[in-house]
């Protein structure tokens, strides 16, 4: 049996767990692709109805954190069951809904549609590059996790602080930092699946989705700031 498993071709490495690692990675990519559909639907509904744009910034932030962290907790508690998949799709719909405020602002530019496509293309390029790099890097990247987590908390608290400070310089700094941190997180999370450090494709999808979401949001914000045509 072990000999049969070792003979299965894989991109995750060799050994008795290679087939399982490949299965988790394959299911993660499939679920990640599916999870983008509720995100687009949520963003479209949000822009069409203005349901999020109509909320005050403070209430919108409270709703975002309560909904996001609540759903993430529920997903992790049910990651080994089918309920975890449904909760993940509900989470991605919610995140798309919350993204609609930014998308609506960008669509207000004359070149808004082009900026969104540029942000989407840039995000896809970063994802493919980081995921490909994860398959060829041989060294253990587990030590990256602590530094990236610190960076993520800095970004989070920085955005909360800037909600009150309203500094354009700090905002640009945080957007660039967010872009760098979560691009690196894609590399780290894909590599963790490849190395067998993550055995739940639901948890793996959640982690990678959050990174992609933050990369896209950062790119779209930067493009809107520097490339938005309001004439």
pLDDT digits (tens, 9 = 90+) for 118-160: 999 999 999 999 999 999 988 888 889 899 999 999 999 999 9
Find the DSSP H helices in 13-166: 18-49, 57-77, 82-107, 112-136, 144-165
| Domain definitions of the chain by residue range | 17-227
Cα 115 versus chain centre, distance: 19
pLDDT of residue 98: 95
pLDDT of residue 195: 87
pLDDT digits (tens, 9 = 90+) for 65-98: 999 999 999 999 999 999 999 999 999 999 999 9
Rounded percentage of the chain residues whose pLDDT exceeds 70: 92
pLDDT digits (tens, 9 = 90+) for 17-76: 577 788 888 999 999 999 999 999 999 999 999 999 888 888 999 999 999 999 999 999
pLDDT of residue 17: 58
Q: Distance between CA atoms of 12 and 131, rounded to whole angstroms?
A: 12
Q: Contact, 14 vs 6, CB < 8 A?
A: yes
Q: Distance between CA atoms of 35 and 52, rounded to whole angstroms?
A: 21
pLDDT beyond 50 at 207: yes
Torsion of CA 198, 199, 200, 204, to 10 degrees: 30
Full-model pTM: 0.89
pLDDT digits (tens, 9 = 90+) for 2-21: 343 333 344 444 555 577 78
Q: Report which DSSP code applies to 106.
A: H
pLDDT of residue 5: 36
pLDDT of residue 231: 62
pLDDT of residue 227: 83
């Amino acid at each position: 049996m072990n000999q049969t498993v070792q003979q299965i071709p894989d991109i995750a490495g060799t050994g008795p767990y290679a087939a399982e690692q490949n299965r988790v990675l394959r299911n993660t990519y499939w679920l990640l692709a599916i999870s983008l559909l509720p995100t687009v639907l949520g963003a479209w509904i949000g822009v069409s109805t203005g349901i999020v744009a109509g909320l005050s910034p403070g209430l919108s932030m409270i709703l975002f954190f309560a909904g996001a962290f609540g759903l993430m907790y529920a997903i992790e508690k049910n990651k080994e069951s089918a309920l975890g998949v449904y909760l993940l799709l509900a989470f991605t719909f919610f995140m798309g809904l919350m993204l609609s405020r930014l998308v609506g602002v960008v669509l207000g530019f004359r070149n808004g549609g082009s900026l969104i496509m540029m942000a989407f293309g840039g995000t896809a390029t970063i994802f493919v590059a980081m995921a490909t790099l994860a398959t060829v890097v041989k060294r253990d990247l587990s030590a990256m996790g602590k530094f990236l987590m610190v960076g993520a908390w800095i970004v989070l608290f920085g955005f909360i602080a800037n909600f009150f400070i309203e500094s354009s310089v700090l905002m640009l700094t945080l957007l660039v930092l967010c872009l760098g941190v979560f691009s690196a997180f894609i590399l780290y999370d894909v590599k963790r699946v490849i190395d067998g450090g993550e055995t739940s494709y639901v948890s793996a999808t959640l982690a990678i989705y959050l990174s992609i979401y933050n990369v896209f949001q950062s790119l779209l914000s930067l493009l809107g700031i520097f490339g938005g045509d309001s004439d």
